[in-house]
Amino acid sequence: MEVDIKRLERLALLKLSDEEEKALSKDVEKIIGFFKQLDGIVLEGVEPLFHVMEKEAGVREDSVEKGIEKLWIERSAAKTIDGYVVGPRTITGEES
């Protein structure tokens, strides 16, 4: 099989139960099979189209505006301490 489901879980930062893993592997295989239909079309000399309108991006003058209120952060974060957003540990169990 082409797809290493565990690797995809790591890339997507998802932890699936065994059952989910089984069901998803099946779907994923099937869908990739569907994507393989693209092998049937001749694409020689065709450039990929990344931006459909091919419009030049707007750029911004270098100016400053006020951002959002501190209160919003305090309300929306799981936890704050002295204005800092409390985050998880940045190292994993094995390293500590």
Partner 1 sequence: MTPQKAVIGLEIHIQVNTVRSKMFCTCSQDYRGAPPNTNVCPVCLGLPGSLPVPNREVIRKAIMLALALGSKVLDKVVFVRKHYFYPDLPKGYQISQHRGPGMAPIAVGGSLEIEGDSGPKRIRMRRIGVEEDPARITYPSGDPTRSSYSLIDYNRSGVPLIEVVTEPDLSSPKEARVFMEKLLELVDHLGISNPDLEGAFRVDVNISIEGGERVEVKNIGSLKDIEKAISYEVVRQRAVLAAGGKIQRETRHWDPVKGVTIVSRYKELEEEYRYFPDPDLPPIAITSSIVEEIASKMPELPWHRAERYVKIYGLTRYVSRVLVSRKRLSEFFEEVVKIYGDPRRVADLLINDFLGIVNERGGNLDMVKASPQSIAKLLSLMDQGVISVKIMKMILERVVLGGEDPEEIVVRENLKVIASDEELEELAEKVIKENPKAVEDAKKNPKAINYLVGQVMKLTRGRADPQKIAAIIRRKLSIGS
Partner 2 sequence: MSLVNKQLRYVVEAVRDNREALSEYIYRLYERIERYEEKLKGFITLRPADTVIREALEANRLGKPLAGIPIAVKDNISTEGIRTTCASAILENYIPPYDATVVKRLREAGAVIIGKTNMDEFAMGSTTETSYFGPSRNPWDPSRVPGGSSGGSGVVVSAYMAPAALGSDTGGSVRNPAAYTGIFGYKPTYGGLSRYGLIAYASSLDQIGLMTRDSVDAALLLEYIAGEDPRDPTSLDLRVGGLFKEISSLGEGRDLPKARLVIVKEMWSGVEDHVFKTTMNAVDKLSSEGFEVEEVSVPEVSYALPAYYVIAFAEASSNLSRYGIPLYGLSKDPENTSWIDYYSEIRSKGFGKEVKRRIMLGSFILSAGYYEQYYIKALKVRRLLRDRLLPLLRRGYIASPTMPIQPPRLGEAIEDPLRLYAMDIETVIPNLIGSPAISLVAGFANSLPVGLQLIGPPLGDRDLLLIARTIEIIIGLSNLSPQMG
Residues engaged in binding partner 1 (CB under 8 A): 7, 10-11, 13, 48, 50-51, 53-65, 67-68, 70, 73, 80-92, 94-96
> For residues 39, 42, 44 and 45, what is the CA-based torsion angle, rounded to 10 degrees?
-120
Angstrom distances, CA of residue 37 to CA of 4, 41, 64, 67, 95? 21, 8, 49, 47, 45
Residue number, 11 or 19, with CB nearest to partner 1: 11
CB 3 within 8 A of CB 32: yes
**Among partner 2, partner 1, none, what binds residue 18 when CB lies within 5 to 8 Å by partner kind?**
none
Binding site for partner 2 (CB under 8 A): 3, 5, 8-9, 11-16, 20, 24, 27-28, 30-32, 34-35, 37-38, 40-41, 43, 46-53, 55, 57-60, 68-69, 72-73, 75-79, 85-93
Instruction: Kindly state the helix (H) or strand (E) to which residue 81 belongs, with its residue range.
Output: strand 80-81
